[in-house]
């Protein structure tokens, strides 16, 4: 086998190993998401909200009978605030879990990271993700230059 063919075979072997690693990491992230649940207590301690794997509200509990002395607007504010905080916590957790998969390969920098469909991953909670959840990577400058060339 020629030296060039050996080099190509080695690069192909590295790319295959990297792909298998990414597939394994993605499967593990999906497994963790499938069992994810989180609960948040409102700042006034009157309401506890739980969310499931896609940021959906799975339970609302009124704690210690505090709701009895609250006005409708106070109770509404407590419930909505707890829901927003629970969904925000969920979104941060999802971003932290999947963000490494969006980075270019450390072994083969020419292999870009995955482009993720956040709606498919977190459902309605995708609405609470920031517009640009990840810091720019070193490849973004090149991508911006290429995108800028379009008529």
Say which DSSP state 102 is in.
Answer: G
Rounded-to-integer distance, Cα 125 and Cα 83, Å: 11
Region for 88 from its dihedrals, namely left if φ exceeds 0, alpha if ψ lies in -120 to 50, beta otherwise: alpha
Q: Give the torsion sign (CA, 18, 24, 26, 32).
A: negative
The residue among 57 and 138 whose pLDDT is bigger is 57
The 8-class DSSP code of residue 131 comes to S
Q: What's the average model confidence in pLDDT over 5-29?
A: 83
Instruction: Tell me what the pLDDT averaged over the chain comes to.
Output: 78
The CA-based angle 126-37-57, given to 5 degrees, is 60
DSSP, collapsed to helix, strand or coil, labels residue 106 as: coil
pLDDT digits (tens, 9 = 90+) for 42-101: 999 999 999 988 888 999 999 999 999 999 999 999 999 999 999 888 888 888 888 777
Enumerate residues 6+ apart whose C-beta is below 8 A from 70.
46, 78
Instruction: Please give the share of the chain, as a percent, with pLDDT higher than 90.
Output: 27
């Amino acid at each position: 086998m020629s030296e060039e063919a050996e080099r190509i075979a080695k690069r192909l072997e590295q790319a295959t190993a990297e792909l298998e690693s990414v597939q394994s990491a993605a499967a593990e992230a999906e497994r963790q998401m499938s069992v994810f649940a989180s609960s948040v207590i409102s700042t006034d301690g009157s309401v506890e909200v739980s969310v499931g794997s896609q940021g959906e509200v799975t339970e609302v509990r009124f704690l210690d009978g505090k709701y009895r002395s609250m006005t409708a607007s106070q109770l509404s504010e407590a419930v909505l605030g707890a829901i927003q905080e629970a969904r925000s916590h969920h979104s941060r957790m999802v971003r932290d879990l999947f963000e490494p998969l969006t980075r270019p390969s450390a072994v083969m920098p020419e292999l870009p990271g995955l482009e993720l469909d956040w709606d498919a991953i977190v459902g309605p909670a995708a609405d609470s993700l920031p517009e640009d959840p990840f810091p720019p990577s070193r490849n973004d400058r090149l991508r911006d230059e290429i995108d800028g060339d379009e008529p």
